[in-house]
């Protein structure tokens, strides 16, 4: 492998086979140390200068822009969650009655609930594109059905880059091209892909990308990022906080109230975005991801599991064709004769941490996993 196992950069329980990065990532030792430094700094607030409210958030903004190939860091907002970012989109989406919003079946709720509310308020239809029942060419046909659903009535297509439960890859480039041809907008929840699967907002021609930071971006909980394209950059923020206003750097003049916002997507930053513990941890995490290279992370996960997947398939466990699923997150469906509860119990007994999402057992390795983790999983799956 071009990228060796990075287990030593984490403090994982050696007794646990943690193949569950899609649930929540562990914190890297470097991020943990950064958080402790921030905690100690907050303990003595006289050490926090006015410029500290701005310097590290700007550094973090630039790192995320680099990670997703954004044209400018000015287009990145620091947010707290996917629901926060999607609420910004919903507030600024121009869609009249009779239009429709397209989502995939069993999409993560934070990328569904905002559109259900908007649909009730504006008389917009929600079109759910179902996952094909047949396993053969499932990912390919699901993408074909999504493309077929896009028409002149489409106001918004809201998807993940991969499906959060089974890892199906959605062809964002083709989806965005057709959506834009019909005058619609494409918004992607990158929570389960950005940081482990290469993302390029310019190549995919997205209109917005929203990400929680505590999974593949390896940050703490309540961290998140949003990239906004031209369709949203001059929109209305979700909240009106002091730091997002022009000249907020001058603490002596904060009550010289400003109608103008800070430039670019900074207007969308969540209140108290200058978290002196969370922000340094996120900086350490993104710096390490960039040093590894996201393409190398995806390649590592692929090489780690590809032989084992073939063995699982031979024992009746179905996985999507590699061309249509991610290597860092994918679902397996058990043969009919295996009772799901029995499988879950066996996994638990062997200290194998995975997630069950719908009909799928979700496997989500990362660079802290090694062959022993995958072999332990294979031992359970082939024991039936």
Least confident interval from 250-259, 320-329, 357-366: 357-366
If asked whether residues 273 and 163 sit together in one domain, one would say: yes
If asked whether residues 279 and 300 sit together in one domain, one would say: no
pLDDT grade for 1, boundaries at 50, 70 and 90? low
What are the contacts of 14-17 at 24+ separation with CB within 8 A? 15/351, 16/351, 16/352, 16/353, 17/350, 17/351, 17/352, 17/353, 17/369, 17/372, 17/373, 17/376, 17/377
Q: What percent of the chain has pLDDT over 70?
A: 100
pLDDT above 90 (res 360) = no
If asked whether residues 185 and 80 sit together in one domain, one would say: yes
CA 266-112-361 angle, 5° bins: 110
Domain count, the chain: 2
* Average pLDDT, integer, range 177-203: 98
If asked whether residues 278 and 304 sit together in one domain, one would say: no
Angle separating helix axes 29-43 and 278-292, nearest 10 degrees: 160
Q: Does the residue 32 lie in any domain?
A: no
pLDDT per position as a tens digit, 114-158: 999 999 999 999 999 999 999 999 999 999 999 999 999 999 999
* Average pLDDT, integer, range 94-103: 96
DSSP-derived secondary structure letter, 266: G
pLDDT per position as a tens digit, 255-280: 999 999 999 999 999 999 999 999 99
> What per-residue confidence (pLDDT) applies to 53?
98
Distance CA 256, CA 263 (A): 18
> What per-residue confidence (pLDDT) applies to 67?
99
Q: Does the residue 160 lie in any domain?
A: yes
Indicate the residue among 262, 291, 320 that finishes a domain. Answer: 291
If asked whether residues 253 and 372 sit together in one domain, one would say: no
> What per-residue confidence (pLDDT) applies to 371?
98
Indicate the residue among 291, 309, 344 that finishes a domain. Answer: 291
Task: Output helix, strand, coil percentages for the chain, rounded to the nearest 5.
Answer: 40, 15, 40
pLDDT per position as a tens digit, 102-116: 999 999 999 999 999
If asked whether residues 285 and 318 sit together in one domain, one would say: no
Q: Does the residue 277 lie in any domain?
A: yes
pLDDT per position as a tens digit, 318-327: 999 999 999 9
DSSP-derived secondary structure letter, 3: S
Q: Let me know: does 238 contact 91? Beta carbons within 8 Å.
A: yes
* Average pLDDT, integer, range 163-168: 96
If asked whether residues 46 and 175 sit together in one domain, one would say: yes
> What per-residue confidence (pLDDT) applies to 195?
98
Q: Which domain holds residue 18?
A: 7-27+294-381
If asked whether residues 286 and 298 sit together in one domain, one would say: no
CATH of the domain at 254: 3.40.640.10
Q: Does the residue 370 lie in any domain?
A: yes
Cα distances (angstroms) measured from residue 160 to each of 52, 170, 364: 34, 7, 16
* Average pLDDT, integer, range 65-84: 98
If asked whether residues 372 and 260 sit together in one domain, one would say: no
> What per-residue confidence (pLDDT) applies to 357?
79
pLDDT grade for 2, boundaries at 50, 70 and 90? confident
* Average pLDDT, integer, range 42-63: 97
CATH of the domain at 334: 3.90.1150.10
Q: Does the residue 34 lie in any domain?
A: no
Q: Does the residue 343 lie in any domain?
A: yes
If asked whether residues 203 and 306 sit together in one domain, one would say: no
Q: Does the residue 50 lie in any domain?
A: yes
Q: Does the residue 2 lie in any domain?
A: no
pLDDT per position as a tens digit, 223-249: 999 999 999 999 999 999 999 999 999
If asked whether residues 186 and 141 sit together in one domain, one would say: yes
What is the residue-averaged pLDDT of the chain?
A: 97
Indicate the residue among 230, 262, 291 that finishes a domain. Answer: 291
* Average pLDDT, integer, range 370-375: 98
If asked whether residues 66 and 140 sit together in one domain, one would say: yes
* Average pLDDT, integer, range 96-100: 96
């Amino acid at each position: 492998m071009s990228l060796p196992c990075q287990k030593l950069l984490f403090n994982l329980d050696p007794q646990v086979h943690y193949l569950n990065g899609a649930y929540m990532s562990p914190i890297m030792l470097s991020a943990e140390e950064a958080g402790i430094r921030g905690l100690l700094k907050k303990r003595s607030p006289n050490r926090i200068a006015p410029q500290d409210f701005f310097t590290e958030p700007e550094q973090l903004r630039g790192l995320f822009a680099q990670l997703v190939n954004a044209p400018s860091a000015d287009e990145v907002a620091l947010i707290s969650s996917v629901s926060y970012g999607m609420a910004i989109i919903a507030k600024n989406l121009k869609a009249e009655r009779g239009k429709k919003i397209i989502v995939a079946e069993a999409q993560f709720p934070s990328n569904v609930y905002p559109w259900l509310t908007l649909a009730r308020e504006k008389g917009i239809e929600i079109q759910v594109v179902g996952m094909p029942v047949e396993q053969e060419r499932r990912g390919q046909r699901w993408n074909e059905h999504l493309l077929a659903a896009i028409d002149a009535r489409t106001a918004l297509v809201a998807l993940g880059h991969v499906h959060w439960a089974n890892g199906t890859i959605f062809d964002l480039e083709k989806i965005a091209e057709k959506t834009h041809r019909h005058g619609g907008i494409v918004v992607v929840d990158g929570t389960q892909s950005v940081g482990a699967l290469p993302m390029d907002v310019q190549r995919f021609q997205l209109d917005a990308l929203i990400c929680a930071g505590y999974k593949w971006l390896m940050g703490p909980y309540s961290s998140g990022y949003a990239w906004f394209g031209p369709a949203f950059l001059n929109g209305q923020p979700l909240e009106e906080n002091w730091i997002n206003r022009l000249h907020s750097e001058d603490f002596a003049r904060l009550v010289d109230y400003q109608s103008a916002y800070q430039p670019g997507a900074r207007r969308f930053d969540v209140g108290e975005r200058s978290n002196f513990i969370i922000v340094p941890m996120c900086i350490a995490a993104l710096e390490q991801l960039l040093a590894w290279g996201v393409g190398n992370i995806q390649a590592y996960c692929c090489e780690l599991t590809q032989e084992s997947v073939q063995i699982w398939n031979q024992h009746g466990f179905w996985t999507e064709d590699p061309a249509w699923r991610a290597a860092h997150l994918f679902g397996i469906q058990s043969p009919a004769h295996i009772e799901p509860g029995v499988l879950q119990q066996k996994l638990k007994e062997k200290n194998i941490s995975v997630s069950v999402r719908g009909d799928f057992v979700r496997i989500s390795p990362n660079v802290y996993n090694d062959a022993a983790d995958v072999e332990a999983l294979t031992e359970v799956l082939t024991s039936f």
